[in-house]
Amino acid sequence: MPKRLLNVLLPAATGALFIVIWYAIRFSIGEEMQFLLPGPGEILAAFRDNGDSLARAALNTTEGALLGFAGAIVVSAALALTLSLSSLVRVSLYPYLMMLQMTPVIIFAPILVLWVGAGLKSVVVITFLICFFPLVVNTTQGLISTDRNLVELFRMYRASRRQEILLLRVPAALPYFFTGLRIAATLAPIGALVGDYTAGSSAGDGGGLGFQAIIYSSQAKYPALFATAAVTCVLGFVFVAIVLSLSWLALHQWHDSYERADA
């Protein structure tokens, strides 16, 4: 059987098995408990009944995720460049970067609401904080891991510091940057959702998926809750797909993580 066909059939079979188990559990827990685990049909119905509010929430969350993600890319690139230039700066700042990563952002959500106000701004800041760390760490690592022989080559040809950074260190760091970007892309929609959950606002239809989840659970609309999770999941896939495409565009010609174009 061709490998390509297997690559489609095997996941499909796993999915079918998953649904069978799902129904089996629903059947075994008895009818009065079945509200705890809605079936796929009910979830699809929830999509239909709550389509408008889900779509609006998804758009709001996407906006928050995109802004926070983009902000994290810009700031982390600038910071990574600074960190890569001096090991002294690196040593001075690194523990605090680690601290930022270890600190659960959620704890600051209430105070963040006071600082920048509930809603989109808070969501963006929380997404930013969650995406920031993997980006800055990977990019910095990439910028300082340049092949020593290539650095020597540039010195040999009396390249300026600027040339060394733009023509050597930055392109050499791209694979690392994209590794960070891939991690950040999976975190961005979740970050926006969590941000929305803890610091969201429904003012002016501004609520996102997190906010919608609170509403659905308070109304005991469990199928809609599952639908919300599914939307977030799809959003995550879209983010990762975009990053993977960009990564492919930037790297497939030359980087070993992609198969050779012609062997």
Partner 1 sequence: MAATPLVELQDLTKRYGDGPVVLDQVSLAAQPGDFISLIGPSGCGKSTLLRLIAGLSPLTAGAVRISGHTPEQAAAELAFVFQDPTLLPWLTVAQNVGLPQQLRGLPPATRRATERRVLELVRLGDRAGAYPRQLSGGQKMRVSIARALSLSPKLLLLDEPFGALDEMTREHLNEELLAIRQLEAWTAFFVTHSVAEAVFLSNRILIMSANPGRFHAEIAVPFAYPRTEATRLSRDYHDLVTEVSRVLRSVEPPDA
Q: How far apart are CA 131 and CA 71, in angstroms?
A: 9
Tokens of 200: 């969201």
CB 69 within 8 A of CB 185: yes
Query: What is the contact surface with partner 1 in residues (CB under 8 A)?
Result: 147, 149-150, 152-159, 163, 167-168, 171-172, 174, 253-256, 260-262
Beta carbon of residue 243, minimum distance to partner 1 (angstroms, whole number):
19
Nearer to partner 1, 1 or 156 (CB): 156
Shortest spacing between CB 24 and partner 1, in angstroms: 50
- DSSP output for 14-29: HHHHHHHHHHHHHHHT
Token output for 154: 């540039």
For the CB of residue 261, give the shortest distance to partner 1 in the complex, in Å: 7
CB of 246 to partner 1, least distance (A): 15
**Which of 129, 122, 145 is closest to 61 using CA atoms?**
122
Residue 73 contacts residue 239 (beta carbons within 8 Å): no
Residue whose CB is less far from partner 1, 55 or 255? 255
Cβ atoms 187, 156 nearer than 8 A:
no
- Least separation in angstroms between CB 150 and partner 1: 6
Nearest CB to partner 1, comparing residues 147 and 205: 147
Nearer to partner 1, 92 or 163 (CB): 163
- Of the pair 45, 168, the CB lying nearest partner 1 is at 168
Angle at which helix 51-85 crosses helix 87-102, to 10 degrees, equals 150
Q: Which is nearer to partner 1, 97 or 168 (CB)?
A: 168
Residues 143 and 177: their CA atoms lie apart, in Å, by: 9
Q: How far is the CB of 165 from partner 1 (least distance, A)?
A: 13
Give the whole-angstrom CA distance, residue 139 versus residue 81: 8
